[in-house]
Each structure stands twice: as structure tokens, then as C-alpha cells.
Amino acid sequence: MDSGHLIMGPELESFENEFANYCDTKYCIGVGNGLDALRLLLIAYGIGPGDEVIVPSNTFIATWLAVTECGATPIAVEPDCRTFNIDPTLIKSAITKNTKAIIPVHLYGQPADMDAINVIAMEHSLIVIEDAAQSQGALYKGRKTGGLGNAAATSFYPGKNLGALGDGGAVLTNDSFIAEKIRKLRNYGSSKKYHHDLIGFNTRLDELQAAFLREKLKVLDAWNIGRKKVAQQYLQYLSPEKVTLPTIPKYSDPVWHLFVVLSNHRDELQQYLLSMGVNTGIHYPVPPHLQPCYQNIVNSDLKIAKRLSKEVLSLPISPLLQVETVKNIANAINDFNPS
């Protein structure tokens, strides 16, 4: 408060430099939230009505909302059930003359197969926008997510691996033209006060959140290691006969935003764990194409997304979870017998 800078000041600028540096990108532009980061990117690339954007069928709805908010049409592609990420082999048949971009999501903190996706994008002149909201710090073939496509969007919603103390988000890119456009779009379309080149928005990352994020960025790697340890315990102790465990491809060094297993008796298993005081989550119970808000969008029968929504269960994970607790949860699951 004493500095007098509450919006667009030195904390934001420092955080943007530090996070760009962390992600190995040239530019980071703080915005109000992750959804706006995606939406502003689509607008910056000139994507709008009549255009199609390829999205995963099993993502958090924000990935789809960004597409429909700019007037374009989301075209869903199903995931590989082992990794939960968009299946690159299914992308080609979803491409039409109207396709402009692909938004791979690094779901649950596990990197999507970016090389395969980028090859297809190159062949069809498509833009690749990573949805890196769940993957801060995750590596794909040794490279940070957020710098693997044309640009990336991330979120600092409090529950993410790098969470603010409120809403926040950022755009990452190596493209100076796009970076400049996002800088304007987030701030009423202007770079000089009261002069407006673009029809912009007001969606900025404020100083207080940027200051919190600068502190939390310092411990992000340590916290991700903490999550990794919990995940390793689960992988070691959980019986693969009781639940389907996540697969980690060779190219992937995930940050375990969530630890998701599959069960044919998911609801009963969730109730059983709850009765023992173990809170679990479902990410996500209803896939975007089955949401009431998207009933007017023409979608093919997205069987995998639908099945996953009935089988996924997110086990407790956090950097602070004790080894003993993880073992106890794993043992409880191993003892579970569906009725």
C-alpha cells in the first residue's frame, strides 16, 4: 500500500520476468485468470466465428469456454486412457478446412505428447496453444511445459500447483508479436494510457497477487518434489488389481496436480474412503459435451470422456501429505471389496 502501486507495477513486472525465466520462455504476461489467458490468446491469433479449435473431450470446461467465448467452435478429440491426455493419433481426422488451432491440456500435471501434436500442427498450419493450468514445472523430454507450442495459458487459481491467494493467470510465449498483443488486450487494448489500438478487456494480475506468486515460485520445485514423493508412494503401494494406476510415458516428468486412478466401482469406492475419513475428488464428473450449456453444440458420441467421468477418482495429494497417511490410504483401497 505504501508503494502506491496496486495494479501494473514493479511486482508484476518482476514476477513476469521470473516466471518466463522459470518456464524457459521469452515472455510472460500476467492476466486475471487462466480462462482469460486462453481466451486472449485465441483472440490474439485472430480466431473467431467460423473457426474450429481442437480440444480434449475430457478437460476442465474452461478449455472449451475460451473457444466458445471468442465465437469459435470446439472440436473434441478423445484422450488416450492411459495418460488421460489428447490422443495425437485421433487429431488428424478431426481437422477440417476451418481448423485453426489445437489446445492440448497437460491434464492432472502430466504433459501431453507435444512432439506428435506439433508435427500434425505443422503439416496443417495450425496454432498450438498449451493449456498449462495444471502443469507448472512439468517436463516433456526435459523441457518445461508452457514453452512447447506457439503459446501457453496457465492459471494461478489457489488450488493449482502454483496458486495465488485469489484468481490469477498468465500467457507464456516466445512470439514478441503475440506478447505485445496480449499486453494490450489485457489492459483495455492500450499500450499508452487513453489510446486504444484494440478492442480490449480488463483482465490483469494485480500487484498483491504477483508479490505472493513471487514468493511461492521460490518453493514451487520443492512442493512439486513433495507431490512426486506422494505419487511414488501410491504407485508403489496401490494394488493394480484394485484400481487402474496412471501411466507415465517415457517423455513425461509430471508434477501430479492430481493423482487419478480408475475404478469400475468408483462411487462405492469413494463412499468407502469417505467413511474412513478420506476425502477424494472427481475430475471431472460431467465432461464438457454433456454439460447443459453445450447441448446446442454438435458433438460426436465421445465415449471415452463419458466413461472416464464415471471411473476417475482423485486421491489425496499435496506436498505436505505424510508417507504414513499415503500408505494407509493405499492399504484401505487394497482392502476394498465392492458389494
Binding site for ligand PLP (CB under 6 A): 33-35, 59-60, 62-63, 105, 131, 133-134, 155, 157, 167, 169
User: What number of CA atoms fall less than 13 Å from residue 333's CA on the CB side?
Assistant: 30
Report whether 3 contacts 202 (CB < 8 A). Answer: no
Residue placing its CB nearer to ligand PLP in the complex, 91 or 164: 164
**For the chain, how big is the Rg over CA atoms in Å?**
20
Question: Which is nearest to 132 in space by CA: 119, 123, 145, 120?
Answer: 145
d(CA 280, CA 275): 11
Put the strands of the sheet holding 27-31 in their side by side order.
27-31, 169-173, 151-155, 127-131, 99-102, 52-56, 73-77
Residue placing its CB nearer to ligand PLP in the complex, 12 or 330: 12
Residue placing its CB nearer to ligand PLP in the complex, 132 or 330: 132
Minimum CB distance to ligand PLP, residue 78 (Å): 16
Burial 27-39 (b: 16+ CB within 10 A, else e): bbbbbbbbbbbbb
d(CA 229, CA 54): 34
- Residue number with the shortest CB distance to ligand PLP? 34
Minimum CB distance to ligand PLP, residue 238 (Å): 24
Minimum CB distance to ligand PLP, residue 3 (Å): 26
Residue placing its CB nearer to ligand PLP in the complex, 60 or 223: 60
Residue placing its CB nearer to ligand PLP in the complex, 171 or 333: 171
List phi, psi (to 5°) of 222.
-65, -40
The sign of the torsion formed by the CA atoms of 126, 112, 138, 325 equals: positive
Minimum CB distance to ligand PLP, residue 194 (Å): 29
Residue placing its CB nearer to ligand PLP in the complex, 62 or 94: 62
Minimum CB distance to ligand PLP, residue 207 (Å): 18
Minimum CB distance to ligand PLP, residue 34 (Å): 2
